[in-house]
Amino acid sequence: MKRIRKHLSPRRIVLKVGTRLLSDPRHRLDPKALARVVGEAATARKRGIDVLLVSSGAVGAGMGILGLDLPPSALVERQACAAIGQGELMHEYARLFRRRRICVAQILLTRQEMANRRSHQNIRRVLERLLHRGVLPIVNENDVVAADELQLGDNDTLAGLVADMIEADLLVILTDTDGLRMRRDGRWGKRIRVVTVITEEMRRAAGGAESKTGTGGMITKVRVAERMARAGRPTVIANGGTPNILRKVLAGEDVGTWFLPSPRRLVARKRWIADGLVPDGKVVVDAGAAEALLKRGSSLLPKGVVAVEGDFGEGAAVEIVDEAGAVLGQGLSRYDSRALARIRRRDSREIESILGYSRGDEVIHRNDLVIG
């Protein structure tokens, strides 16, 4: 209780509800589950807390309207269900919240908009204005316009990005499990109440199957909690089927798993580089460069670049991997892929003579680089 006490009076929360929580056994939208979520959000609002809701459920709602018993596997079929179901989902939310005299707004986002700095700032301004006016924003991914490579992939990730964007004091992810449990000898152990540092063992325990209509599993939620921690924000993963679960979370009762903020926080720009951008390519580095990046916090120089993968321009986000394929981090490349392929393994002093110009000695400056 002592470790979480200072997080129990949030000014603003992001509440994320998943597909499993909102679906009946036939994978269709469950009106009773929807009403429970509305009740949770309304209760928090009565306490003077700003609430932003990130809600899945559009695919399930579309399945119900089409009379489908099995979730579609093809992306275009899922998008069609989402297109049909999103309107129904918002209609039900608006109706239920209206009964409680709460106005709602629909916000549909894609990774492309979240990755663009200008769009990102505009979305933030709109969300801030809605919250200032007492409106409850309901956010979902715009599945119809998001091509496969531009999809955020799950609303857990979206919830984390939005929580950071509006500087929420707490992210609450409601799902159909009680929280994070460790797995030993093929058996599930007790629920972990508080996590201060996410270990590799925890990541392995969180790995598992995704839902049929949703896309996120526990491992995704843990990764989001890890990103939130380095942004200095706590996350709670709890069972949305538990009556009054949000009230219990905010009362500090023994429910769910709390992930506490990290003492080492990334600045906003580096969080945007690490979490908001989709890498357009890969840069493979040798052992010496990997050690310099990991242990000394160095910039990446062309001499340490072994190979370049993908077709990207200057300033693009690229993933940095070692020769074994392990991901070391992500950063913004000063050189496009063709130029980088020409100067790889070369000394920085040779850049201008090779290319006829120079964007600097570094391929990726440490100010544009996030390791880990």
User: Residues 46-101: pLDDT tens digits?
Assistant: 999 999 999 999 988 999 899 998 888 888 898 999 999 999 999 999 999 999 99
Which segments of the chain belong to CATH 3.40.1160.10?
A: 5-267
* Structure-token match 């990290």, residue found: 262
Is pLDDT at 146 greater than 80 in this prediction?
A: no
Query: What is the pLDDT, as a whole number, of residue 189?
Result: 78
Q: How many CB atoms lie within 10 A of CB 230?
A: 20
Of 143, 169, 139, the C-alpha closest to 156 is: 139
Is pLDDT at 155 greater than 50 in this prediction?
A: yes
Mean pLDDT of the chain, nearest integer? 90
Domain 5-267 classification at class level: alpha beta
Averaged pLDDT for residues 118-131: 95
Is pLDDT at 216 greater than 80 in this prediction?
A: no
Q: How many CB atoms lie within 10 A of CB 158?
A: 24
**Exposure string for 71-90, b = 16+ CB within 10 A, e = fewer:** bbeeeebbbbbbbbbbebbb
Is pLDDT at 263 greater than 80 in this prediction?
A: yes
Tokens linked to 351: 């850049």
Query: What is the pLDDT, as a whole number, of residue 209?
Result: 40
CATH topology of domain 279-371: 2.30.130
- 121 to 32, 115, 117, 212, 371: CA distances (angstroms): 36, 10, 6, 34, 24
Query: What is the pLDDT, as a whole number, of residue 150?
Result: 45
Please provide the size of the chain in residues: 372
Query: What is the pLDDT, as a whole number, of residue 148?
Result: 56
Query: What is the pLDDT, as a whole number, of residue 163?
Result: 96
Tokens linked to 317: 């986000």
Which segments of the chain belong to CATH 2.30.130.10?
A: 279-371
- pLDDT confidence of 151, banded at 50, 70, 90? low
Is pLDDT at 149 greater than 50 in this prediction?
A: no
User: From start to end of 142-286, where are the E strands?
Assistant: 170-175, 181-184, 187-191, 194-195, 235-239, 257-259, 281-285
Give the global pTM: 0.84
Of 95, 77, 112, 110, the C-alpha closest to 31 is: 95
Q: What value does the CA radius of gyration of the chain take, rounded to a whole number of Å? A: 22
Is pLDDT at 272 greater than 50 in this prediction?
A: yes
Is pLDDT at 213 greater than 80 in this prediction?
A: no
Q: How many CB atoms lie within 10 A of CB 226?
A: 20
Query: Is the separation of the CB atoms in 232 and 260 below 8 Å?
Result: no
In degrees rounded to 5, what are phi and psi of residue 347? -70, 145
Averaged pLDDT for residues 297-303: 97
Share of the chain above pLDDT 70, in %: 94
Averaged pLDDT for residues 247-274: 92
**What three-state secondary structure class fits 327?**
strand
User: Residues 187-212: pLDDT tens digits?
Assistant: 777 899 999 988 888 887 777 444 43
Query: Is the separation of the CB atoms in 123 and 165 below 8 Å?
Result: yes
* DSSP letter, residue 29: B
